[in-house]
Amino acid sequence: MFKVKQTRLVAVASLFILLVFVLYRSSGSDTSTNSVAQVVTTNNIIDSQNDDKKDDAINQKILLSENNVDEADEGKPEVSEDKPFDPAQSFLEIRTLAPMTIFSKSYCPFSKRLKELLKDNYQITPEPQIVELDKHSNGRELQTYIGEVTGRSTVPNVIVGATTESRGGCDDLVKLHESGELLSLLAEWGGKKMVVKKIDAPSNL
Look over the chain and give the mean of its residue pLDDT values, rounded to a whole number: 81
- The pLDDT tens digits for 33-64 are 454 444 444 444 444 455 666 667 666 766 66
**Position 72 confidence tier, pLDDT thresholds 50, 70, 90:** low
For 77, phi then psi, to 5°, come to: -70, 140
Q: What are the DSSP calls for 22-41, one per residue? A: HHHHHHHHHHHHHHHHHHHH
107 three-state secondary structure: coil
Neighbouring CB atoms inside 10 A of 137's CB total 8
Laid out side by side, the sheet with 157-160 consists of 129-132, 100-104, 157-160
- The pLDDT tens digits for 81-114 are 678 999 999 999 999 999 999 999 999 999 999 9
Sorted by sequence, the CB contacts under 8 Å of residue 158 that are 6+ apart come out as 100, 101, 102, 103, 114, 166, 167, 168, 169, 173
**Position 7 confidence tier, pLDDT thresholds 50, 70, 90:** low
pLDDT over 70 at 8, yes or no: no
Q: Of 174 and 43, which is predicted with more confidence?
A: 174
Q: Of 3 and 168, which is predicted with more confidence?
A: 168
pLDDT over 90 at 11, yes or no: no
- 147: region left, alpha or beta (phi > 0 left; psi from -120 to 50 alpha): alpha
Domains of the chain: 2-70 (no CATH), 87-198 (3.40.30.10)
